[in-house]
Chains A and B, each alone.
Chain A
């Protein structure tokens, strides 16, 4: 099926954001593992895989719309040197992604592409969940203090 005006371009911009987020969360999760924060390692790694699933869906949908997915672009991967810094940078990445999704949803509704809109809305929901989680961690650090927060990250849940 041929894509409506501007849809492929939007999907490719979202794809770039997703591919960048995969790398950013992946390196953060690996750093947490290296620091001994098993719980965070696990949580952040899952976030990276969520982004990979989104990227996969965007690529497949772009091909379905007879467009060419751009796999060659990568945004700036912002690496945090401490856990709070990582949260700040990941929150920024998620908020930018949310903005892109909102733009995409509005555009798709305007040109009448409701399938793409629906897909983007689903992804937007995941992004909201990610933002909520990061904000909760930041609030927790404020309330209990960084040291106590980090001490709770050493063991993975359920182990």
Chain B
């Protein structure tokens, strides 16, 4: 099926963001493992896999719309010297992700592509959940102190 004007462009922008997120979470998982925070390593790994899932769905949909998926672009991969900094960077990143998705949803509705809109709405739900998770961790650090928080991250939940 042929895509409506501008839809493939928006989808490709989201693909770039998702692929960047995969790199970022892959790195953050490895950092947490290196620092000894197994629980966080596991959480970041899960986040990374969810982003792979998003990229996969977007590429499928672009091909279905007879567009060309762009997997050559990579945004800026953010890192940090400690867990709190990683959380802050990821929170900003996910918020930007949500902004882009919102723009794309509005555009899809405007041109009358409700299938794409529906797919993007499902993605923004998960992005909101990621934002919520990062906000929760940052709030927990404020409430219990960073040392107490980190000592709880050494063991993975079983």
A-side residues, CB < 8 A to B, are 19, 23-24, 26-27, 30-31, 33-34, 52, 55-56, 59-60, 63-64, 69, 71-72, 74, 76-77, 79
14 A-B interface contacts by CB (under 8 A): A19-B23, A23-B71, A24-B71, A56-B29, A59-B30, A63-B31, A71-B23, A71-B26, A71-B79, A72-B23, A72-B74, A72-B77, A74-B74, A77-B72
- A25 CB to nearest chain B CB (Å): 10
A34 to B58, CA, bound (A): 13
- B130 CB to nearest chain A CB (Å): 19
In the complex, given contacts A56-B29, A72-B23, what are 4 additional A-B residue pairs having Cβ atoms less than 8 angstroms apart? Answer: A23-B71, A26-B59, A30-B69, A56-B26
Q: In the bound complex, do residue B71 and residue A26 qualify as a contact, i.e. CB atoms below 8 Å apart? A: yes
Partner of B30, one of A23, A30, A69, A72: A69
Total A-B Cβ pairs within 8 A: 56
Please tell me the size bucket of the interface on B: 20 to 34
Main secondary structure of the interface of A (DSSP, over half): helix
B-side residues, CB < 8 A to A, are 19, 23-24, 26-27, 29-31, 33-34, 55-56, 59-60, 63-64, 69, 71-72, 74, 76-77, 79
